Structure 1
Amino acid sequence: MRIDSVPANADCRILVVDDNVDATLILSMSLRLKGFAVESAQSGPQALTISQSWQPDAVLLDISMPGMDGYETCERLREQPGSGDVLVIALTGYGQEEDRKRVRETGFDAHLVKPVNLSLLPDLLPQLIIEKKARLASE
């Protein structure tokens, strides 16, 4: 993927992680209809396994999950080799300033509060991916 232009949706690999099966299905289907390559997971450990083998460009990660929550999942994802350029977005019902601060401190790149406007994601995701890759290239 080039870092100087917004890629076509088909060039973006998105991993959707949420323990709510219906939420995962709706978001995944919505992104697929817009042309994205999408995989989904219902837990942190499953997300880590998929991420390591599939190498997504972005991960939409729920915070409140049983067992390994989104914070721990993000931290472990960041420890995986080759995951430094993956865009990780917190997708959560938690939207207070202290929640946003914890999201930033944990290593997420962005914070979206549920319910997410599904019509905005197809334009937002590729742009955020490009911005992250450009930021990393300039470091």
Structure 2
Amino acid sequence: MPAVPHSQEAARRVLVVEDQEDCLAMMVELISTQGCEVRVARDGQTALCVAQEFLPHVILLDLGLPVIHGYEVAKALRRDPRTQHAVIVAVTGYGMESDRVRSAQAGIDRHLIKPVAFEELAGLLRLHGVSDWTPLS
């Protein structure tokens, strides 16, 4: 299947992959306030299936997932022409330098450590054209 280019509508799509319910709910709430369309997955296998149909522009990916580890999810997303251009952001508790290296090797674009501040997350979404949020001065 050929790659599907991201339209403006697609550029507002965010997939949140997180197995901890409280963290998932918080991220979905924050992202939804930015006018984004949000889908969720609670494990790696579901994330791959949702991503193939949803074609997100940004994927917020926990690394310590059940079924398939986040690093493997990222590698699979990069191999798939439908998702290879998505911005993948690790949102994880793994904060050692070796974790950041593994993220980069798996094709992850950014590596954020939990808990992530709202301003950092919103700024990241704005940077990638997903949100129009601007901080108050």
Maintained 8 Å contact 1:12/1:126: no
In structure 1, give the amino acid aligned to 2:29.
Answer: M
Report the counterpart of residue 38 of structure 1 in structure 2: 38
Shift of 1:123: 2.4
Report the counterpart of residue 26 of structure 2 in structure 1: 26
RMSD of aligned alpha carbons: 2.1
For the structure 1 residues 99 and 11, does the alpha-carbon distance in structure 2 shift closer, same or farther, using more than 3 Å as the test? closer
In structure 1, give the amino acid aligned to 2:60.
Answer: L
Report the counterpart of residue 52 of structure 2 in structure 1: 52
Report the counterpart of residue 98 of structure 1 in structure 2: 98
In structure 2, give the amino acid aligned to 1:117.
Answer: A
Whichever structure has more helix as a proportion of its residues is 1
Tell me the TM-score normalised to structure 2 length: 0.82
Shift of 1:11: 4.6
Report the counterpart of residue 122 of structure 1 in structure 2: 122
Q: Identity of aligned pairs, percent?
A: 35
Unaligned runs of 5+ in 1: 131-139
Tell me the TM-score normalised to structure 1 length: 0.81
For the structure 1 residues 116 and 28, does the alpha-carbon distance in structure 2 shift closer, same or farther, using more than 3 Å as the test? same
CA distance in 2, matches of 1:11, 1:61: 17
CA distance in 1, matches of 2:109, 2:128: 9
Maintained 8 Å contact 2:45/2:67: no
In structure 2, give the amino acid aligned to 1:120.
Answer: E
In structure 1, give the amino acid aligned to 2:108.
Answer: F
In structure 2, give the amino acid aligned to 1:106.
Answer: A
For the structure 1 residues 35 and 129, does the alpha-carbon distance in structure 2 shift closer, same or farther, using more than 3 Å as the test? closer
Shift of 1:75: 1.0
4+ residue segments displaced more than 4 Å: none
Secondary structure at the counterpart of residue 22 of structure 2: helix
Shift of 1:94: 1.0
Unaligned runs of 5+ in 2: 1-5, 131-137
Aligned length: 125
